[in-house]
Amino acid sequence: MNEAGGYYLEELSVGMSAEFAKTITEADILLFGAATGDNQAVHFDEEYASKTRFKGRIAHGMLSAGVISAAIGNRLPGPGAIYVSQTLKFKAPVRAGDTVRAKVTIKEIFPEKKRVLLDTVASVKDTTVLEGEATVMVSRKADIEAST
């Protein structure tokens, strides 16, 4: 593990996986809206949201995507990994009180580019709410040792 607690590229292998879970609160939704400026009615106005296909307020999709980011940054590859890209397919809504469980699994490693391709899935109980792929940059141990 690197000095920040994450994995070096040489320590990773295809099939490794990790999870991170977070219960989405009303405060999370309010703060996310304030931080991003996304104040769409479906997130904040119950009367409006009750007339939509969701039949009530839902959390921002990118708030759920943030749980995937936490799994990558906190678990696998962990601290020191740098996001390069992320694809997202939103499959089901998330509401305040739901616990979002993100799972990341290494699909492929590109040693020459210092990149790792991860399968990313977020779920609430047995329902997949979000899926996609992420590419992250990971340091090689040899590169760090050579620079010191």
pLDDT at 137: 97
Residue partners of 38: CB distance under 8 A and separation at least 6: 32, 60, 62
Indicate whether 138 belongs to any domain. yes
Tokens of 136: 């992250």
Q: Which of 89, 23, 96 is nearest to 57 (CA)?
A: 96
Distance, in Å, from the CA atom of 66 to the CA atom of 84, rounded to the nearest integer, reads 15
pLDDT tier for residue 6 given thresholds of 50, 70 and 90: confident
Indicate whether 16 belongs to any domain. yes
Overall number of domains in the chain: 1
pTM of the full structure = 0.91
Indicate whether 74 belongs to any domain. yes
What pLDDT digit, counting tens, does each position of 74-85 carry?
A: 999 999 999 999
Domain extent for 137: 9-23+62-147
Indicate whether 43 belongs to any domain. no
The b/e string for 74-101 (b: 16+ C-beta within 10 A; e otherwise) is: ebbbbebbeeeebebeeeebbebebebb
In angstroms, how far is the first alpha carbon of the chain from the final one?
A: 16
Indicate whether 44 belongs to any domain. no
Indicate whether 98 belongs to any domain. yes
pLDDT tier for residue 130 given thresholds of 50, 70 and 90: very high
Indicate whether 139 belongs to any domain. yes
pLDDT of 141 strictly over 60:
yes
Indicate whether 2 belongs to any domain. no
**CATH number for the domain that contains residue 19:** 3.10.129.10
